[in-house]
Amino acid sequence: MIDLSLNEVETLSAKAARGAGFSWGLAEDIGRASRRIAVEDDNWSQAMLSLAEQAQSFEPPSPSRAARWRNGEADVATGRPLCPIRTAALLLDEPLPANAMPLTILDVGLPIWLDAMLRRSQMRLAGPVGPATSVDVVVERRAEIEQPATSRRGAIEERTLATLNSFAARTYVPESERSRLRGAGGGRVDDE
Amino acid sequence: MTAIALRPPEVVMRLQRLGAAHPTRLSFLRQLIRRATREKWRVRKHLFDLDDNGFGRAVYAVETPARTYSLIAFSTPLDDEKRSDRVIAQAWDTSYVLYDGLPDAADIARLEANAPLQEAGRYTRSELVLARANKSVRLFEEVASALAQGHQPDEEQLLGVGYLLRTTAVYGNGKFGIADRDEIAARPELAGSFQAEMLTVWLIRSFTLNLVDHIARRRNPAGAARLAPDLRRTLGVGNATGLGMAPFLVRHPLLTHSWFLARETALARVRAEAQAGEAERGAFSNALADLRRRVARWHSDDSRQAAATRLLAGDLDMLAGNLDQLLAKPRPWDALYRFAEDHFSLEGQEACVSLILEPHGALIDELGDTMKADETPGHVIDGGMNCGSLRQALLDCYSWAADIDFADPSANARFWYVSAEKLEPRLGERFEEDGAELEQPLATARDALGLAAALAQEPPSARVADFLLRRPEWRHAVRRAQIVAKFPYAEIHDNLIGAELRPVDILRAKLAFFGARSFDPRSDRWLRIALFSGEPLIEDVATMAGEAA
């Protein structure tokens, strides 16, 4: 096992999320949520790996589905699991009216991510979600926002780290000879 | 007392002005020195185990009121051809860790196996900062041999360079496994921006001076001289900074805003003073004289910087010639600033900002406590806003970008990327190099204008949350737009991907907030600086009278 700082957890997760196809803005959200998971759950790296690997199998909430949630109408599943990140982003960006809560959402993929993303708001999932692949969830309102703990680290197995790094590496550019020469630094030895 | 308006972001946040920034008394190393002096921090050599050539290990323990921190230094042999400022270097003359507490022998042994490897090593939450430094070889050797012969080194040569060793990286906040900033952010002595990093560099400075003394004494135990106190105080620590640091200000918009807002608030406060007291006049004259001496020694082979430094010298001459008359006016500091605005180069104007603040610690030093920010509030997106309002906010906040035509290749010439080899930010040429599809989201002006255009396609009453549900690719730009609307100094008001961009301008602004001097651009994308030159030695602050300036 390798012990990562939470900043490393956040940075690696954001890069891996971008490498897995999430937009830059969503990748930032994922980095923050990953840090939150690492603080509270030893399985953050497995959660991150599942998210990166399954990113393409989810679908975002459709505008009509989002409208049903907001209007307090019963949710209708589509046959493909909902993307927990896109769902959380929607709920965070414009929290549901009080009369639409609690809200049951059907067939959410990797609900640990919906749970983690919502923790910075007054919304919570009712009950523990665990490492489920997809599940129906209930979003409810809490009076208080829990502050994340500090003084935690993110343990990760070497093989998982390598896989996440390979997702992150999709965002890197091999240096051209030209940029290597122009460089970030001088390319000359000390001359004083 | 009528308030003076803050200089607006349209003036302050332009790259040309950022590239003329000077350190002020609010700079981070000055804040650290003030606290250490006030609290009488004590430093002792806990371990100094170096051989005749100066290779080995040393530990300096700093006792602050609440806690002890230790600099652990390793000095190792290095072939001359491996000594490089570049981030791609793999070995260094010296490596350092700022340790949380006092290390035991096992900690030192563990770090001796890692710190010399720097990024290739692995660290724990007990380490707060990781750094390395290379010798200024010729100067270091000349100082060592002069001292070994029993005399002091040539002062002009010494001051021309300004330091014996130069750091090429100082890492904080969780890098390579060291402690997260969250773990120290609640400690008063390290809560401010970059205080742990500045403490590390301050201690490195003392180590470099003790290192050269030690080598001289081992060469000539009976007759070696010790580097004279006035020379010790004049020398700082060098630093070479490259592109890796450039995206920081863009990626930390709330923090950036807090730094500039504090400095501009300080300037406005001082300009609003009705009169200049005797003590303030005296302190100003001293600061001006000190700066003129420094400018006379400020050397750079960079033709732009050399020209700017010449203009600055002329500006300071003119200021000295007009000082009595300016300070006799009502609101003298405002008169002085406006005189600078009317007559001086940007370099001269920004030097005046620094000089004007210098005598006014009682009025402005508390602003130092505001120069920090948690970026979390900026993360929240207000999706209930409507698209029409967001578009209008963009057009208002980015009016400076309205005339940039990103269809023009020169406006869109570069792209920021992360290099696969070093995992460091780099700047590529969009139309000449591969990889632009992997561009980092640092094209602030282009993305703001692009977002405004995308929002123009939406009904003005549509909610941003619904827009983002369909267009998640704009999420980072929406987040940024809402931050910039609330925090006006959060954004650099220039195109960061244009052909004319000089990344050293961004670097200089950040380094000036650290307290850097002697800016010496080595290209358009890296520069050398000096930190702590002319400032008290950390081992002296416990016995210094009163507060350091």
Q: Do A6 and B81 touch (CB under 8 A)?
A: no
Residue that the structure tokens 């009712």 belong to: A126
Ramachandran class of A188: left when φ > 0, alpha when ψ lies in -120 to 50, beta otherwise = beta
Residue B247's φ and ψ, nearest 5 degrees, are: -70, -10
| φ, ψ at B170 (rounded to 5°) | -135, 105
Contact B300/B309 with Cβ under 8 angstroms? yes
Q: How confident is the model at residue A182 (pLDDT cuts 50, 70, 90)?
A: low
Residue of B nearest to A59 (CA): B469
CA distance B202 to B98: 11
Cross-chain Cβ contact B83/A93 below 8 Å: no
The partner residues of B61 in beta bridges, in order of sequence, read B44, B70
Nearest Cβ partner for A182 among B122, B168, B525: B525
Q: Any CB–CB contact under 8 A between B240 and chain A?
A: yes
- Pairwise CA distance, residues B428 & B414, whole Å: 5
CA B72 to chain centre: 23
Q: Answer whether B199's CB lies under 8 Å from B128's CB.
A: no
On the 0-12 / 13-18 / 19+ scale of CB atoms within 10 A, B437 is exposed
Across the interface, of A60, A93, A188, the residue whose CB is closest to B464 is A93
Residue B451 CA to residue B480 CA, distance in Å, equals: 11
pLDDT tens, residue order, chain B (549 aa):
678 999 999 999 999 999 999 999 999 999 999 999 999 999 999 999 999 999 999 999 999 999 999 999 999 999 888 888 777 788 999 999 999 999 999 999 999 999 999 999 999 999 999 999 999 988 999 999 999 999 999 999 898 899 999 999 999 999 999 999 999 999 999 999 999 999 999 999 999 999 999 999 999 999 999 999 999 999 999 999 999 889 999 999 999 999 999 999 999 999 999 999 999 999 999 999 999 999 999 999 999 999 999 999 999 999 999 999 999 999 999 999 999 999 999 999 999 999 999 999 999 999 999 999 999 999 999 999 999 999 999 999 999 999 999 999 999 999 999 999 888 899 999 999 999 999 999 999 999 999 999 999 999 999 999 999 999 999 999 999 999 999 999 999 999 999 999 999 999 999 999 999 999 999 999 999 999 999 999 999 999 876 544
- Please give the pLDDT value at position A142: 85
pLDDT at B81: 85
Contact between B169 and B132 under an 8 Å Cβ cutoff? The reply is yes
Residue A50 burial (10 A CB sphere; 0-12, 13-18, 19+): middle
Residue of A nearest to B382 (CA): A93
* Cα A187 from Cα B449, distance rounded (Å): 37
CA atoms within 13 A on the CB side of B475: 27
**A185 vs A30, residue with greater confidence:** A30
CB B146 within 8 A of CB B212: no
pLDDT for A180 equals 64
> How far apart, in whole angstroms, are the C-alpha atoms of residue B420 and residue A75?
44
pLDDT tens digits, residue range A102-125?
Answer: 999 999 999 999 999 999 999 999
Interface of B with A in 140-159 (CB under 8 A): none
The string of DSSP codes covering B230-257 is: HHHHH-EEEEEE-GGGTTHHHH-HHHHH
Instruction: Please provide residue B68's backbone torsions phi and psi, each rounded to the nearest 5 degrees.
Output: -105, 135
Contact B384 A94 (CB under 8 A): yes
Out of B242, B381, B427, name the one closest to residue A93 (CB): B381
Query: In this complex, do A94 and B417 lie within 8 Å of one another by their Cβ atoms?
Result: no
Interface contact flag, A175 B419, Cβ < 8 Å: yes
> B83: helix, coil or strand?
coil
Distance from C-alpha of B60 to C-alpha of B320, rounded to nearest angstrom: 42
Confirm or reject contact between B40 and chain A (CB < 8 A).
no
B195 alpha carbon, distance to own chain's centre: 11
In this structure, chain B runs to a length of 549
Q: Which of A150, A170, A171 sits opposite B182 (nearest CB)?
A: A150
Higher pLDDT, A132 or B240: B240
| Per-residue pLDDT reduced to its tens digit, A42-82 | 789 999 999 999 999 999 999 999 999 999 999 999 999 99
- Map tokens 């197995």 to a residue: A157
Best mutation target, B180, B416, B527, to test chain A (most A CBs within 10 A): B180
Q: Which residues on chain B are in Cβ contact (under 8 Å) with A150? A: 180, 182-183
Name which of B70, B89, B59 is nearest B169 in CA terms. Answer: B89
Chain-chain contact of A176 with B466 (C-beta, under 8 angstroms) = no
Model ipTM value: 0.94
Please check whether residue B423 is in contact with residue A172, taking contact to mean a CB–CB distance below 8 angstroms.
yes
Write a three-state SS string for B343-359.
HCCHHHHHHHHHHHHCC
Can you tell me the distance from the alpha carbon of B204 to that of B74, in angstroms, rounded to the nearest whole number? 11
Chain B residues in contact with A4 by the CB 8 A cut-off are: 177
Q: What is the pLDDT of residue B546?
A: 60
Is residue B246 a contact partner of residue B503, using CB atoms and an 8 Å limit?
Answer: yes
User: How confident is the model at residue B84, as a pLDDT?
Assistant: 83
Q: What is the pLDDT of residue B215?
A: 98
Comparing CB atoms, the residue among B87, B136, B463 nearest residue A184 is: B87
Name residue, tokens 């409208």: A67
Q: How far apart are alpha carbons A137 and A121 in whole angstroms?
A: 17
Whether the pLDDT of residue A185 is over 60: the answer is no
Put simply, the answer to whether A66 touches B134 (Cβ < 8 Å) is no
Pairwise CA distance, residues B415 & B430, whole Å: 6
Cβ contact (<8 Å) for B469 and A66?
Answer: yes
Under an 8 A CB cutoff, do B469 and A23 touch?
no
Chain B nearest-CA distance from A128, in A, is 25
Q: Which contiguous run of DSSP H or E holds residue A44?
A: helix A44-54
Task: For chain B, count helices (H), then strands (E).
Answer: 20, 11
- In angstroms, the separation between the Cα of residue A10 and the nearest Cα of chain B is 10
Contact A113, A84 (CB under 8 A): yes
Nearest residue to B181 (alpha-carbon basis) of B372, B50, B15: B372
- Which residues in B lie closer than 8 A to residue A86 (C-beta atoms)? 469, 472
DSSP, collapsed to helix, strand or coil, labels residue A43 as coil
Which chain A residues have a beta carbon less than 8 Å from that of B379?
28-29, 32, 120
Strands B425-429 and B127-135: unpaired
Say what the pLDDT of residue A189 is.
41
pLDDT value for B341:
98
Length of chain A measured in residues: 192
Domain boundaries defined on chain B: 39-242+536-543, 376-490
Looking up tokens 């900002």 gives B353
